[in-house]
């Protein structure tokens, strides 16, 4: 059966949410120059839009790559590190971890564990989307955009088997 894309979050709603998150980060980091770390691949569009909206000077932008989905639409629960960080980059620095979506919490928790080993002075999580109904481990989201229902979604950087990332809005996939 063919898959159908059903609109879930419009491009305008995403833009408004990103602007609001940027304002919150600017408020809280007004006297800092944080390092912003995006989790690839899904967060790359959100990360780019977010830092372009921020007025706060950013010390550095880094990327990490984790995987728990492979080609499936459900997380395997086995989080793999595909790309990491250089040693010493975050030592005694304020760090903002940027995620596209917090789903089961497994990959986000793994990313936070990894980042903590780099000795940041502070570490906060900013997520565009949260799907709490699928949570397997607790995750504290310090800056949250939108809570969504338990649907498989694509668009705005989020993919299904590497497809649909380029869509400017977010869609659920229905069969």
pLDDT at 123: 97
User: What is the distance between the alpha carbons of residues 142 and 53, in angstroms, rounded to a whole number?
Assistant: 18
Mean pLDDT of 62-75: 64
**pTM, rounded to two decimals:** 0.89
Task: Examine the pLDDT at 78 and tell me if it is beyond 70.
Answer: no
Nearest CA-CA partner of 114 in 153, 151, 82: 82
**What integer pLDDT is reported at residue 167 of this predicted model?**
96
Average per-residue pLDDT for the chain: 89
Cα-based angle 159, 163, 164 (whole degrees, multiple of 5): 70
Q: Which domain holds residue 35?
A: 4-174
Asked if pLDDT for residue 72 goes beyond 50, the answer is: no
| Number of folded domains that form the chain | 1
**Which has more confidence, 74 or 17?**
17
Looking up residue 47, the CATH number of its domain turns out to be 3.40.50.2020
Cβ burial of 140 (10 Å; 0-12, 13-18, 19+) is exposed
Q: What positions carry a catalytic annotation?
A: 103
pLDDT average, residue stretch 110-123: 91
pLDDT value at 71 more than 60: no
21-51 tens-digit pLDDT: 999 999 999 999 999 999 988 999 999 999 9
Torsion angle, CA of 15/162/35/82, rounded to 10 degrees? 170
pLDDT over threshold 80, residue 62: yes
pLDDT > 70: what percent of the chain? 89
Question: What digits encode the pLDDT tens for the residues 128-168?
Answer: 999 999 999 999 999 999 999 999 999 999 999 889 999 99
Task: Indicate the pLDDT class of residue 1, thresholds 50, 70 and 90.
Answer: very low
Q: Is the pLDDT of residue 55 over 50?
A: yes
């Amino acid at each position: 059966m063919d898959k159908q894309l059903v609109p879930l979050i419009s491009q305008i709603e995403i833009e408004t949410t990103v602007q609001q998150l940027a304002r919150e980060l600017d408020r809280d980091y007004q006297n800092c120059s944080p390092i912003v770390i995006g989790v690839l691949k899904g967060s790359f569009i959100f990360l780019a839009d977010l830092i372009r909206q921020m007025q706060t000077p950013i010390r550095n932008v880094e990327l990490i790559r984790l995987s728990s989905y492979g080609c499936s639409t459900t997380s395997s629960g086995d989080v793999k590190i595909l790309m990491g960080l250089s040693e010493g980059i975050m030592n005694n620095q304020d760090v903002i971890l940027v995620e596209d979506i917090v789903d089961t919490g497994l990959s986000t928790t793994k990313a936070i564990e990894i980042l903590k080993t780099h000795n940041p002075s502070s570490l906060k999580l900013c997520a565009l989307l949260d799907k709490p109904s699928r949570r397997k481990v607790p995750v504290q989201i310090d800056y949250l955009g939108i809570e969504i229902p338990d649907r498989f979604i694509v668009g705005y950087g989020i993919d299904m088997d590497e497809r649909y990332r380029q869509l400017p809005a977010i869609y659920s996939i229905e069969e």
